[in-house]
Amino acid sequence: MIVDRDESAAENLKRQLHAEGVESEVIAVDLCEIGESTRALKDMTNRVGRLDGLVNNAGVNDGVGLEHGSPERFAASFKSNFAHYYTMKEAALPYLIQSKGVIVNISSKVAITGQGGTSGYAAAKGAILGASIEWAAELAEYGIRVNAVIPAEVRTPQYERWLQSFENPEERLRSIEAKIPLHARMTEPEEVAAMVVFLLSPKSAGITGQQLFVDGGYIHLDRALTFANFPGMTR
């Protein structure tokens, strides 16, 4: 089930999945509207009958920082990047208790490293990490597992649009990739998805309350290991 306010993008993903032999359904709602989470979950369970996993992923690095922000813009940024994680969890909880299901929350490296100029987004991504641990503790009695996935530099369409805002996008990309220790390349969306699928599966039955990094070593490995410091390294 694909829940997204951008119906055309969701339908495009549905077509891609269909081409790969995976059937899916689209529910077009704006999760910033609190009541829409409940409607989405009701629609979903009416169609499929049960719920085994919830993946909270929607968000946008909107550039609401300290210098050019305001309390109102900060609150709006925080809400748009975190509130639906909570409301989707609340709406899904009765079904997840029934199925002893799984919640996977997508956060961001910004919650760990900071970035500058995006305090609303960073605060929300930090809240997601704190909430994931708390929910794992609170829901353990129901057999529900909760984990967070932390990507760093992932080459998504949104990231591509950001790159195109620079005078020399390819040069900017090379400078970013040079700082990624493993293979000096960005993470692919499929690599993040593979971690999510693992966390949803019985193969991760003993994992809860964890923060799992899919980032090519970007966050934790020493910068001395990066491609920029080893000119002879091949990708």
H helix count then E strand count, the chain: 9, 6
CA atoms in the 13 A half-sphere facing the CB of 201: 7
Catalytic residues: 121
Q: Rounded CA gap, 134 and 193, in Å?
A: 23
Q: Give the Cα-Cα-Cα angle 31, 83, 109 (nearest 5 degrees).
A: 105
Token pair recorded at residue 100? 């002893």
DSSP, collapsed to helix, strand or coil, labels residue 63 as coil
Around Cβ 88, how many Cβ atoms within 10 Å? 23
